[in-house]
């Protein structure tokens, strides 16, 4: 089985790239993040024509997640256990954002997650990010079963200093703080371990490169799209890599897909 994750940075804008990549990579399951569309606006027909069922969770705007599967979709769950909301500037009430969706696909329990960015360590969005990560940990702990189980997506956290192109550039910034990395450790303490993609062209398999300042051609990126799994999942992994080619060219997402191959009984 091939399972992949990709922050597409707008499924509408990236649809031709997504369709092409699905035809080439042929994942059995693809977890998407940052749909930027409501559930009823998802391109179900175009994706369905490739043989995929879709479970989407989105309201439009800047968030949204989905699971695409050729091996069935069951037990769909939208949102986390006691998921916190965020009070946006000018809003009267906190909104629970569409950032997580779980489904069972071909006997594997998958969660597609889009962790809040955090914006700045002094911003309320950073405190929201830490609360959201705690809800993710609680959800993973509640859901862990004997099935192969994985949580994958855009975590907006670089696990180590080596996972950014120049740690000096991130001094005092989100994505690399001790508190965020402790949240990844807490997720691991539920019984999950990270699946590390192998290096291809470069020593560190970055997954994100800013559109500005020629970050991609200069390989000034970050590894923030991560895959965690329980023992039944991680022991079945035969390969894991970042498809850097999907980031090349015009009209691409600023993230590249992470691909995991499994040999399941």
In 28-174, which residue ranges form alpha helices assigned H by DSSP? 44-48, 124-143
CA 152 – CA 205 distance, rounded (Å): 16
- From the list 52, 126, 154, 175, the catalytic residue is 154
Residue ranges of the binding site for Mg(2+): 7, 34, 154, 156, 254-255
pLDDT over 90 (residue 146) = no
What residues does each domain of the chain span? Answer: 2-262
The confidence score (pLDDT) of residue 261 equals 98
Is the pTM higher than 0.95? The answer reads: yes
Q: How far apart are CA 238 and CA 183, in angstroms?
A: 27
Sorting pLDDT into bands at 50, 70 and 90, what band is 96? very high
The whole-number average pLDDT for the span 1-5 is: 98
44 as an active site residue: the answer is no
Per-residue confidence (pLDDT) for residue 265, from 0 to 100: 84
On the question of pLDDT at 92 being above 90, the answer is no
Indicate the Cα dihedral angle 168, 171, 174, 180, nearest 10°.
90
CB neighbour list of residue 19: distance below 8 Å, 6 or more residues apart: 46, 47, 50
pLDDT value at residue 151: 98
Q: Which of 101-110, 137-146, 151-160 has the lowest mean pLDDT?
A: 137-146
- Whether the per-residue pLDDT at 255 is higher than 90: the answer is yes
Of residues 130, 108, 107, the one with CA closest to residue 119: 130
- pLDDT at res. 60: 86
Residue 57: active-site member: no
Residue-wise pLDDT for 223-241, tens only, equals 999 999 999 999 999 999 9
For the question of residue 255 being annotated catalytic, the response is yes
**88 pLDDT higher than 90:** no
Above 90 in pLDDT, residue 201? no
Residue 228 CA to residue 8 CA, distance in Å, equals 20
In which band, very low, low, confident or very high, does the pLDDT at 195 lie, cut at 50, 70 and 90? Answer: very high
Rounded distance, CA 127 to CA 125, Å? 6
- Predicted confidence at residue 264, as pLDDT, reads 94
- CATH architecture of residue range(s) 2-262: 4-Layer Sandwich (3.60)
Mean pLDDT of the chain: 96
3-state DSSP assignment of residue 210: coil
Q: Indicate the SS3 state at residue 244.
A: helix
Per-residue pLDDT tens digits for 97-119: 999 999 999 999 999 999 999 99
**pLDDT > 70: percent of the chain:** 100
Annotated binding site: 7, 34, 154, 156, 254-255
Q: How many percent of the chain have pLDDT more than 90?
A: 92
pLDDT for 47-78, tens place per residue?
999 999 999 999 988 899 999 999 999 999 99
Contacts of 230 (CB under 8 A, 6+ apart): 144, 148, 149, 150, 191, 192, 193
**pLDDT band at 200, cuts 50/70/90?**
confident
pLDDT in tens, 168-180: 999 999 999 999 9
Q: 35 — phi, psi (to 5°)? A: -65, -40
Q: Are 64 and 37 in contact (CB under 8 A)?
A: yes
Catalytic residue among 52, 114, 126, 128: 114
């Amino acid at each position: 089985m091939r399972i992949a994750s990709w922050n597409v940075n707008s499924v509408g804008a990236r649809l031709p790239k997504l369709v092409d990549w699905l035809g080439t990579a042929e994942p059995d399951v693809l977890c998407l993040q940052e749909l930027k569309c409501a559930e009823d606006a998802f391109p179900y027909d175009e994706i369905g024509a490739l043989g995929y069922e879709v479970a989407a969770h989105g309201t439009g705007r800047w968030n949204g997640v989905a699971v695409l599967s050729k091996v069935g979709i069951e037990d769909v769950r939208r949102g986390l256990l006691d998921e916190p909301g965020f009070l946006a500037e000018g809003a009267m009430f906190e909104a629970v954002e569409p950032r997580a969706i779980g489904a069972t696909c071909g006997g594997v329990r998958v969660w597609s997650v889009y962790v809040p960015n955090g914006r700045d360590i002094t911003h309320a969005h950073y405190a929201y990010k830490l609360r959201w990560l705690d809800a993710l940990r609680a959800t993973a702990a509640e859901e862990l079963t004997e099935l192969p189980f994985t949580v994958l997506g855009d975590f907006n956290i670089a696990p180590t200093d080596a996972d950014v192109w120049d740690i000096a550039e991130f001094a005092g910034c989100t994505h690399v703080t001790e508190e965020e990395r402790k949240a990844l450790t807490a997720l691991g303490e539920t019984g999950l371990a990270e699946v590390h993609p192998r290096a291809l062209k470069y020593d560190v398999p970055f997954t994100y490169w800013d559109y500005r300042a020629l970050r991609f051609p200069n390989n000034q990126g970050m590894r923030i799209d991560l895959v965690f799994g329980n023992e039944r999942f991680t022991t079945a992994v035969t390969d894991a890599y970042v498809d850097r080619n999907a980031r090349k060219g015009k009209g691409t997402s600023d993230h590249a897909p992470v691909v995991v191959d499994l040999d399941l009984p």
